[in-house]
Amino acid sequence: MDLMEESSVERENGVQGRGGLAATTARTLNLPAGMSRDSLQLESVARRLWRGPGSPMKQNLSNIGTSSTSSPVRTSYSDRFIPSRSSSNLTGFALLDRSPSGANIAQANDNREDSAAAYSLLLRSELFGTEASSPATPDKAMGLAARDPIRSPISPTNRNLFRFKSDHQVRGSSARPESPYSLSPGVLDATLTSTTLSPRKAPRKIARSPYKVLDAPALQDDFYLNLVDWSSHNVLAVGLGTCVYLWSACTSKVTKLCDLGLADSVCSVGWTQRGTYLAVGTNLGEVQLWDATQCRKVRTMSGHRTRVGTLAWSSHILSSGSRDRNILQRDVRVQEDFVSKLVGHKSEVCGLKWSYDDRELASGGNDNQLFVWNQQSTQPVVKFSEHNAAVKAIAWSPHQHGLLASGGGTADRCIRFWNTATNTPLNCYDTGSQVCNLVWSKNVNELVSTHGYSQNQIIVWRYPAMSKLATLTGHTMRVLYLAISPDGQTIVTGAGDETLRFWNVFPSPKSQSTVRDTGVWSLGRTHIR
């Protein structure tokens, strides 16, 4: 009965007196020994004071960050599920809305414009070279590098990307944090800024049109002939029909050297290394030697049964190749017409070239063969049979001993390189058209090829990459004839369209720049006879 009364009293007190914490606690809790109801009530009051908004403890804690003016300002906004990353900055990708006001707007716009200009300059330079990067605004890019040599054109001003928000900065300090990605390929360090922003070396400019054109009436359209040669005295010799004409590049004067008459015609011309005498191969199989300064024939040498289509000098030795498939070695110091006969080709010999050290003679024929002879041999010491057409284009490299280049005709269209020291083939490049001539530059490691069917083009190659530096067009027929000036900068090409065209293709040995078109090297078209 006492228990039921006590329970009813508790229920009544619980409903009617919920605010009485001490009375309810006294009835529902068993207090430990020594603790009174008053002490429990004081503990509850202290706890409410601690949690209240006016708690002195909270006020003291909130004043810790602002009591000292020398301590850094720390602004931290974070979520329990997103960590705060101190090395990130969303302003780099415009993920934080920081709208500049007043004078800061112009500065922010200028920074963005500078960054875009520098990035465009870098991208164009990397992808397209200096030619593409030159149209950009170099003044602004250089101004950007001068004002801020460390800033990357890719990264923003603060260079800290991908963070949520946490700025730690000491008041009065403008130091910029270092980027943890300074070695990234897309970020420029201070040591790399000058090299990356500096323009690359501009490629050499090669004029795509000839600076001079000479009319050459009766210049034959015959693949097996060699009718143009340039002397060391800067005089061009051209065989036109039955006559040989000399054109001085110094005075632009044309001189008629000889006329073979109606019964004969000119098939090849070749200057001596000193440039004072000219050898002329005829259709009747003779080789005539002329003094160019006096326009006087010195001697006539026979030995071939038919036309002499190619000539090559080595000091006092003159080599002549003929349609009779033979090569005759002539010593102009002796009375005999020839001192030895080189037999090996099975068809007309159309290409002959001595090496620069005068130790090896390369010959090409209509039998698709390329032979190499030495001074004493009467049989070829090296035979190359990889070409599939006539081999007229032959050139020795002046930069590497034993390096020989050759070109094939219409059915071959390839330029091949050989090492005559090891008797091995090196590389082969398909040019897409008949290879008529080859000549190597003495100033740089480059060569020129002239072509016939079907594109009639002139190509400047960089060796050994064999990259095309320029493709020159203008002849309307196959470019059968080629010669190079004594300074090694200018080439002249001849074709069956009866024109001779002069091109600036190679740099000078010192300035590495092309010859200026001044004086007689002026634009214009004249006649060689």
For 182-208, what is the mean pLDDT? 56
For 359-364, what is the mean pLDDT? 94
Residue 74 has what pLDDT?
60
Cα gap 65→69, rounded to integer Å: 9
Query: What is the residue-averaged pLDDT of the chain?
Result: 75
For residue 75, what pLDDT band results from cuts at 50, 70 and 90? Answer: low
**Rounded to 5, what percent of the chain is helix, strand, coil?**
20, 30, 50
> Which pTM value belongs to this model?
0.61
Residues 373-385 have pLDDT tens digits of: 988 888 899 999 9
Would the pLDDT of 497 be above 50? yes
For residue 310, what pLDDT band results from cuts at 50, 70 and 90? Answer: very high
For residue 93, what pLDDT band results from cuts at 50, 70 and 90? Answer: low
Q: What six digits make up the tokens of 238?
A: 């051209």
Residue 204 has what pLDDT?
79
Strands 525-527 and 212-215: parallel
- The closest of 307, 403, 306 to 355, measured between CA atoms, is 403
HEC string for 396-415: ECCCCCCEEEEEECCCCCEE
For 46-65, what is the mean pLDDT? 49
Q: Scan for tokens 């030895």, then name that residue.
A: 340
Residue 391 has what pLDDT?
95
For residue 127, what pLDDT band results from cuts at 50, 70 and 90? Answer: confident
For residue 166, what pLDDT band results from cuts at 50, 70 and 90? Answer: very low
Asked if residue 335 lies in contact with residue 321, where contact means CB atoms within 8 angstroms, the answer is: no
For residue 337, what pLDDT band results from cuts at 50, 70 and 90? Answer: very high
For residue 121, what pLDDT band results from cuts at 50, 70 and 90? Answer: confident
Q: Among residues of the chain, what percentage have pLDDT more than 70?
A: 60
CA gyration radius for the chain? 45
Q: Which of 20-34, 230-244, 496-510 has maximum average pLDDT?
A: 230-244
Would the pLDDT of 369 be above 70? yes
Residues 270-295 have pLDDT tens digits of: 999 988 999 999 999 999 999 999 99
Would the pLDDT of 4 be above 90? no
Going by C-beta distance under 8 Å and a sequence separation of 6 or more, which residues neighbour residue 322? 285, 304, 305, 306, 307, 308, 309, 328, 348, 349
DSSP 33-60: TT--HHHHHHHHHHHHHHHSTT-HHHHH
Query: Which comes out higher in pLDDT, residue 15 or 59?
Result: 59
Residue 486 has what pLDDT?
93
Residue 175 has what pLDDT?
46
Cα gap 529→525, rounded to integer Å: 12
Would the pLDDT of 71 be above 60? no
For 445-472, what is the mean pLDDT? 93
Would the pLDDT of 180 be above 70? no
For the chain, give the longest Cα–Cα distance: 162
Residue 67 has what pLDDT?
44
Q: Please report the sign of the dihedral spanned by the C-alpha atoms of residue 294, residue 296, residue 302, residue 308.
A: positive
For 231-235, what is the mean pLDDT? 94
Residue 441 has what pLDDT?
92
For 423-451, what is the mean pLDDT? 93
Q: What are phi and psi of 47, to 5 degrees?
A: -65, -40
Would the pLDDT of 335 be above 50? yes
Query: Which comes out higher in pLDDT, residue 265 or 203?
Result: 265
Asked if residue 425 lies in contact with residue 457, where contact means CB atoms within 8 angstroms, the answer is: no
Residue 173 has what pLDDT?
45
For residue 128, what pLDDT band results from cuts at 50, 70 and 90? Answer: confident
Lowest-pLDDT range of 102-116, 118-132, 203-217: 102-116
For 330-339, what is the mean pLDDT? 93
Asked if residue 84 lies in contact with residue 177, where contact means CB atoms within 8 angstroms, the answer is: no
